[in-house]
């Protein structure tokens, strides 16, 4: 009986953590979308298809490689897109309380493979949005780690991504003849596409 109560309490805490993080993350994506719009970039996500409790728990336990949860594109940059990847923190592991880290991918199919995405050489390499958005956001960019208030972090990331688009970092590699456009290789699963 005591074990069952303990397991229920652990599950309740995990759900509460997930709910807090999800609200913060979606709010921060709204801030990011506003910043991107100033640079003629558009963020597309579907909150209904955002990472679920199970995916969140698996990323926290580092048993899931990653989940693509949206994309960034623009009419100003044809053939360029950045995809949003949630996965366990890598460079920011020491700053993570287990929250998923956000990084960016680009379309880059490989011959004879179902792999569609490759890491984007973005100026911002990793982002952690805290469960409580008022605790700020941790950003890793060009080898430097910094914490920022959420609004400032959204503007900062939007500005860096606009430079990445301008410099061609988000430009897709030409697809190979046999590439599978719906394969997601590298362990990344797409919940939606841009």
Identify the band that residue 84 occupies on the pLDDT scale cut at 50, 70 and 90.
very high
User: For residue 107, which phi and psi values (nearest 5 degrees)?
Assistant: -75, 120
188-190 and 66-73 as β-strands: parallel, antiparallel, unpaired? parallel
Contact 80, 165 (CB under 8 A): yes
Q: Note the pLDDT tens digit of each residue in 8-62.
A: 555 555 568 899 999 999 999 999 999 999 999 999 998 777 888 888 888 888 7
Sequence-distant (≥ 6) Cβ neighbours of residue 117 within 8 angstroms:
68, 83, 85, 105, 106, 107, 108, 184, 185, 186, 188
Q: What DSSP state is assigned to residue 48?
A: G
The residues, ordered by sequence, that sit 6+ positions from 180 with a Cβ below 8 Å of its Cβ are 109, 114, 116
Strand partners, 128: 101, 138
Give domain limits for the chain: 2-190
116-141 tens-digit pLDDT = 888 899 999 999 999 999 999 999 99
The confidence score (pLDDT) of residue 188 equals: 44
pTM: 0.80
**pLDDT score for 3:** 55
* Confidence check: pLDDT of 110 > 90: no
In this prediction, residue 7 carries a pLDDT of 53
User: What per-residue confidence (pLDDT) applies to 5?
Assistant: 53
Q: Which of helix, strand or coil describes residue 38?
A: coil
Q: What is the pLDDT of residue 82?
A: 93
* Per-residue model confidence as pLDDT tens digits over 135-184: 999 999 988 999 999 999 999 999 999 999 999 998 987 653 333 333 33
Is 193's pLDDT higher than 60? no
């Amino acid at each position: 009986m005591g074990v069952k109560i303990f397991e229920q309490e652990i599950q309740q805490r995990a759900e509460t953590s997930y709910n807090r993080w999800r609200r913060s993350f979606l709010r921060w994506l709204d801030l990011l979308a506003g910043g991107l719009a100033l640079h003629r970039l558009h963020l597309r996500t579907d909150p209904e298809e955002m990472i679920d409790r199970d995916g969140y728990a698996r990323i926290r336990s580092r048993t899931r490689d990653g989940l693509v949860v949206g994309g960034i594109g623009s009419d100003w940059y044809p053939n360029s897109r950045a995809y949003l990847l949630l996965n366990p923190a890598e460079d920011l592991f020491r700053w993570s309380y287990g929250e998923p880290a956000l990084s960016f991918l680009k379309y880059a199919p490989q011959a004879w493979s179902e792999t569609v995405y490759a890491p984007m050489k973005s100026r911002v390499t990793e982002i952690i949005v805290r469960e409580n958005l008022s605790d700020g956001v941790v950003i890793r960019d060009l080898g430097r780690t910094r914490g920022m208030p959420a609004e400032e972090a959204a503007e900062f990331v939007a500005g860096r991504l606009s430079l990445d688009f301008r410099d061609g970092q988000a430009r897709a590699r030409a697809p190979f003849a046999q590439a599978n456009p719906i394969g997601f290789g590298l362990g990344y699963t797409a919940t939606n596409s841009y």
